Amino acid sequence: MASINAIVFVAVLIAFALPLGSFLERTFKGERTWLTPIVAPLEAGIYKLCAVDASAEMDWATYTRCALAITVWGVAVLYAILRLQALLPLNPQHFPAVSPEIAWNTAISFITTTNWQFYSGENTLGYLAQMAGLAWLNFVAGAIGLAAGIAVIRGFARERSSTIGNFWVDYTRSLFYVLLPLCIVFGLAFVASGIPQNFAPYINAVNAEGFSQMITGGPMASQEAISLVGGNGGGFVAANTASPNLNPNGICNFLELLAIWIVPAALPFTFGRMVKNERQGFAIFASMIVLAAIGFGAAQWAEQTGNPAIHALGVAGSNMEGKEVRFGTANAGLSLTVATNSGTGASNFTYDSLMPLGGMVAMANMQVGEVIFGGVGSGIYGMLMFAVITVFIAGLMVGRTPEYLGKKIERREITLALFAALVFPAIILLGAAFGAVTGAGLATLGNTGPHGFSEILYAFTSSAANNGSAFAGLGPNVFYDIGTGLAMLGGRYLVMIPTLALAGALAQRPTNMLGAGTFRTDNAIFVALLIGVVIVFGALTFMPADALGPLAEHFELFAR
């Protein structure tokens, strides 16, 4: 059943990703699309209003400064909304202002598409904060990531060019040609499937047995759409997509998983078309899908095997703890794969209840970096960074200057790629180390022993990977509010900036003609080598830490 679900999902994904990849190429080249008659006048008006010269391109440094400027602006606006919530309208539950440290963590979280939430949305935020704060910043953050991804692709595609595009043009087109239209489609589909979309106060319902329950409402469907399509993942309520309000049935669950991967899956095909070699795009996509399949198989095996402590009681079966009965283990495994192999992290079950090896798969999916589809834009530039490292290693093995797409990879390029690749694990491991040895880091753990360490390691892994999913046992305090916020910023911008610099360097290089001795990067050999580099890089970096957490917990559980 699990395999059939996955095969159908991948088939539908490819069917939509291929035309979307072509649409993205035409959109960001400024060519006419079916949306041009509708959006072009609006686009021109925005440029005029904001005094943007759409024809003026930028070098990578200027492009980066623009991305950082709108990041700072977004953080400031959301922080102000959260701190002033008690004074603002559309707050029918009369929630008070959010505390300074939680407001800071949330603002950083949403501008980096992490959507790590140290609060329960339904008990903390009013409708204005949810819409004008969180949902708005979901659009902003998703557009920043998509623009950066397109700029990196341009850097790989161009030659003898000092520019990689215009950030404000890419950002505007990301919003109005891609994210907003997709969110309208998915938002309507979510409403049709039963997700609420209203401004009514919460309902206090009492059943026939006298049990009282608060039923949440609000503008959920619209926020869920951009949360998933934009690679964000934050839920309107604490239970996220495990909540029946946010994920009422199997069809809705399928649509939500499709929304998470649809843009990241389309970008490899956009890359292939923009570099004028579609086989290159298929090679990148194949690498992503194989890596995802490996994680899916491992997670399914771990959860289907079940808990030996439960089996000892004479109860056979898979591990259903923390999972929704309406989805079962099979759909939970697919959800785990899609959520942790992306920058979204929206889960339809509780990760804290995973079997130890299932939890390790979730961490490993993120620990390789945002490369297995990843976030909107960040997934493609993360995988291209590893492609550069792969051809460098291949060049060392065969004793020749490495090339990618006909461009020589020299000292500057490999230094930038390795910095982007190594700063990511450094953020995670340093954060987890401080969390494991300080009183503040241990103060709010829900568990001790290996699982407690896994909670710490998962928190910093998810934060640096801009994923936002969590082992539920870790509670908030000032250490984690500040620490995970810094990890989010580092995981986003200390990877994005050197990758944009890499793209700027490659854009200036000439493209050499491919010869008989050129190492091909559009065939099965390259795909296998790229997959191997991603796996080995992640394993060498994180296996010691994973051995202290999920691996130790696994052997401890099965030794009883």
Over residues 53-88, the pLDDT tens digits come to 999 999 999 999 999 999 999 999 999 999 999 998
Q: Which of 310-314, 363-367, 422-426 is the least confident region?
A: 310-314
Q: Which of 162-171, 294-303, 385-394 is the least confident region?
A: 294-303
**Mean pLDDT of the 101-123 span:** 88
Position 560 confidence tier, pLDDT thresholds 50, 70, 90: low
pLDDT value at 328 more than 80: no
CA 45 to chain CA centroid, nearest Å: 31
- How confident is the model at residue 501, as a pLDDT? 97
**Mean pLDDT of the 30-55 span:** 94
**Residue 252 sits in the same domain as residue 358:** no
Mean pLDDT in the chain? Answer: 90
pLDDT value at 32 more than 60: yes
- What is the Cα–Cα distance from 319 to 210, expressed in whole angstroms? 33
Position 3 confidence tier, pLDDT thresholds 50, 70, 90: confident
Position 261 confidence tier, pLDDT thresholds 50, 70, 90: very high
**Residue 476 sits in the same domain as residue 387:** yes
- How confident is the model at residue 529, as a pLDDT? 95
> Hey, what are 518's tokens?
């050129």
pLDDT value at 121 more than 80: no
Cβ–Cβ < 8 Å for 322, 354: yes
CA 348 to chain CA centroid, nearest Å: 16
Dihedral-angle region of residue 94 (phi above 0 means left; psi in -120 to 50 means alpha; beta otherwise): left
Position 1 confidence tier, pLDDT thresholds 50, 70, 90: low
**Residue 404 sits in the same domain as residue 529:** yes
Query: With pLDDT > 90 as the criterion, what percentage of the chain qualifies?
Result: 65
SS (H, E, C) 42-100: HHHHHHHHCCCCCCCCECHHHHHHHHHHHHHHHHHHHHHHHHCHHHCCCCCCCCCCCCH
Q: Quote the pTM value.
A: 0.94
Q: Which residue is associated with the tokens 């890596």?
A: 291
Over residues 498-543, the pLDDT tens digits come to 999 999 999 999 988 776 667 889 999 999 999 999 999 999 999 9
Encode 37-58: b = buried (16+ Cβ within 10 Å), e = exposed.
Answer: eebeeebeebbeeeebebeebb
Report strand pairing: 203-206 vs 212-215: antiparallel
pLDDT value at 155 more than 90: yes
Cβ–Cβ < 8 Å for 272, 384: no
Cβ–Cβ < 8 Å for 328, 4: no
**Which of the given ranges, 1-15, 231-245, 285-299, has the highest pLDDT on average?**
285-299
The range of the structural domain enclosing residue 335 comes to: 279-558
**Residue 271 sits in the same domain as residue 283:** no
- What is the Cα–Cα distance from 457 to 115, expressed in whole angstroms? 17
pLDDT value at 16 more than 90: yes
Cβ–Cβ < 8 Å for 381, 268: no
Cβ–Cβ < 8 Å for 246, 195: yes
Final residue in a domain of this structure, among 275, 296, 318: 275
Over residues 162-201, the pLDDT tens digits come to 999 999 999 999 999 999 999 999 999 999 999 989 888 8
pLDDT value at 554 more than 80: yes
**Residue 249 sits in the same domain as residue 368:** no
CA end-to-end span of the chain: 31
**Residue 384 sits in the same domain as residue 502:** yes
Final residue in a domain of this structure, among 275, 300, 322: 275
Number of other CB atoms surrounding residue 123 within 10 Å: 13
pLDDT value at 142 more than 90: yes
**Mean pLDDT of the 81-98 span:** 90
**Residue 105 sits in the same domain as residue 216:** yes
**Residue 391 sits in the same domain as residue 308:** yes
Number of other CB atoms surrounding residue 313 within 10 Å: 8
Helix (H, G, I), strand (E, B) or coil at 244: coil
**Residue 433 sits in the same domain as residue 481:** yes
**Residue 208 sits in the same domain as residue 236:** yes
Within 373-515, where are the H helices?
378-398, 411-437, 439-443, 449-464, 478-508
Number of structural domains found in the chain: 2
Helix (H, G, I), strand (E, B) or coil at 203: strand
- How confident is the model at residue 438, as a pLDDT? 93
Final residue in a domain of this structure, among 255, 275, 295: 275
pLDDT value at 2 more than 70: no
Longest dimension (CA), the chain: 79
- Which one-letter amino acid corresponds to residue 450? P
**Residue 24 sits in the same domain as residue 150:** yes
Cβ–Cβ < 8 Å for 9, 331: no
CA 227 to chain CA centroid, nearest Å: 10
**Residue 364 sits in the same domain as residue 464:** yes
Helix (H, G, I), strand (E, B) or coil at 374: strand
Q: Report which DSSP code applies to 511.
A: P
